[in-house]
């Protein structure tokens, strides 16, 4: 009998050692799980990060929680970072879906989602769409960290569309509104080149 119990304990121990730790993760608070998923993303463990964000969304994304301000950051952040797992793999269309969902349905993570949605369009060569998205960001969140870069990328998109006047105007606007920004020098250089190319 003792031998049977010993074997049973050993089997149980081995199965616990080899099992997926999803049960343990499920016991963690949602905020802790979110932080763990962000760390996975920072470590470029993209499939694991994606699975972790999807797990949070499957468990907590429902109409009731979408109305609850306490869950807004958790859900919006999970969707944004889920988009990032695709963005970092150059899967811009998949990433854009998640950024757009945050913009449409949440109160937090708005500026960064507008910015990355604009970049997703830019990298897919939807320059007009990118210009519009960057414009929405600048008009709605002019004080955000992303607003200066959005103006810069508007200029870049206009350059791709061969609209030198609009490109120069975007770079000039960025320089005037955000003179201390680290990208202002790049914008100034581009504006000068466009002026000379007239």
pLDDT for 195 equals 82
- CA 146, distance to chain mean position in Å, is 12
Taking only the tens place, the pLDDT of each residue in 33-47 is 999 999 999 999 999
CA distances from residue 49 to 45, 88, 184 in whole angstroms, order as listed: 6, 12, 34
CA distances from residue 197 to 105, 164, 165, 168, 174 in whole angstroms, order as listed: 44, 9, 11, 11, 20
Tell the residue number behind the tokens 């999970």, with chain if given: 78
Domain 26-108: assigned CATH number: 1.25.40
Taking only the tens place, the pLDDT of each residue in 43-90 is 999 999 999 999 999 999 999 999 888 899 999 999 999 999 999 999
DSSP state, residue 20? -
The pTM assigned to this predicted structure is 0.82
DSSP state, residue 139? H
d(CA 11, CA 118): 53
Pair 134, 150: CB distance under 8 Å: yes
Tell the residue number behind the tokens 């998109």, with chain if given: 157
Backbone angles phi, psi at 61, to 5 degrees: -85, 100
Query: Is residue 8's pLDDT more than 70?
Result: no
Pair 152, 174: CB distance under 8 Å: yes
Q: Do domains 26-108 and 110-198 have the same CATH topology?
A: yes
Q: Where are the domains of the chain?
A: 26-108, 110-198
Give the mean model confidence (pLDDT) for residues 102-125: 97
pLDDT for 28 equals 81
> Three-state secondary structure along 54-75?
HHHHHHHCCHHHHCCHHHHHHH
Long-range contacts of 144-147 (CB under 8 A, 24+ apart): 144/111, 145/111, 146/111, 146/112, 146/114, 146/115, 147/111, 147/177, 147/178
Q: Which fold has domain 110-198?
A: 1.25.40
- Residue 27 pLDDT grade (very low, low, confident, very high; cuts 50, 70, 90): low
């Amino acid at each position: 009998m003792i031998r049977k119990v010993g074997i049973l304990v050993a089997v149980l121990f081995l199965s616990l050692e080899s099992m997926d730790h999803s049960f343990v993760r499920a016991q963690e608070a949602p905020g802790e799980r979110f932080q763990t998923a962000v760390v996975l993303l920072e470590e470029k463990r993209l499939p694991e990060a994606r699975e972790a964000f999807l797990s949070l969304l499957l468990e907590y994304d429902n109409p009731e929680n979408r109305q609850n301000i306490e869950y807004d950051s958790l859900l919006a952040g999970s969707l944004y970072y889920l988009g990032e797992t695709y963005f970092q793999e150059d899967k811009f269309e998949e990433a854009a879906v998640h950024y757009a969902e945050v913009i449409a349905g949440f109160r937090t993570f708005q500026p960064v989602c507008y910015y990355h949605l604009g970049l997703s369009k830019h990298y897919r060569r939807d320059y007009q769409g990118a210009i519009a998205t960057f414009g929405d960001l600048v008009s709605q969140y002019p004080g955000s960290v992303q607003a200066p870069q959005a103006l810069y990328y508007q200029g870049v998109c206009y350059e791709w569309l061969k609209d030198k006047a609009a490109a120069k105007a975007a770079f000039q606007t960025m320089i005037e509104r955000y003179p201390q920004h680290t990208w202002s020098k790049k914008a100034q250089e581009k504006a000068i080149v466009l002026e000379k190319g007239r």
